[in-house]
Amino acid sequence: MKKEYIFVVLILIMLYMVYLVLSYKYTEYKINSNIQYLSDLKQEFSEKIQEAEDIIEYTNTKAYKNKILKQHQSKKNKWEQVVNLISEKKYEKYTRNQEIGITRIEAPLTSEQTLISTMTIYQRWNYFLFGTDTR
């Protein structure tokens, strides 16, 4: 009878030892996965910090400030000249009209155009959508 009890106790001790080994491995796995996650997070943060430092460094340069002033405030440096490139037709159109003094002759309005020009915006919408004159 003693041998049977001893055998059962040894089996229980062995099961307890297996439990201890498995629980140790599980906690070790959790710790290692947390360490890996934190190291990945640290790497990601360091990359983002470096990227932010690069952006701050770029925005503090004279070239960037000059670019922003030119874009948003229409400023130019003292030595720069502004050259607007347009086609010859547009150049002749605007310069010829000023040199000769040609005035634009308006064509006489048709009855529908005079009707529309005397309407308010609400009346025009009614006229265009429904074809009714609500004056």
Does 25 reside within a domain?
yes
Q: Which domain holds residue 62?
A: 2-83
DSSP string over the chain: -HHHHHHHHHHHHHHHHHHHHHHHHHHHHHHHHHHHHHHHHHHHHHHHHHHHHHHHHHHTSHHHHHHHHHHHH----TT--------HHHHHHHHHHHHHTPPPPPPPPPHHHHHHHTS-HHHHHHHHHH-----
Number of domains the chain contains: 1
- What is the per-residue pLDDT for 79? 74
Does 73 reside within a domain?
yes
Per-residue pLDDT of the chain (135 residues; tens, 9 = 90+): 788 999 999 999 999 999 999 999 999 999 999 999 999 999 999 999 999 999 999 999 988 888 887 777 767 777 777 676 777 787 777 776 544 555 555 556 667 777 777 888 888 888 888 877 776
Does 108 reside within a domain?
no
Does 98 reside within a domain?
no
Does 130 reside within a domain?
no
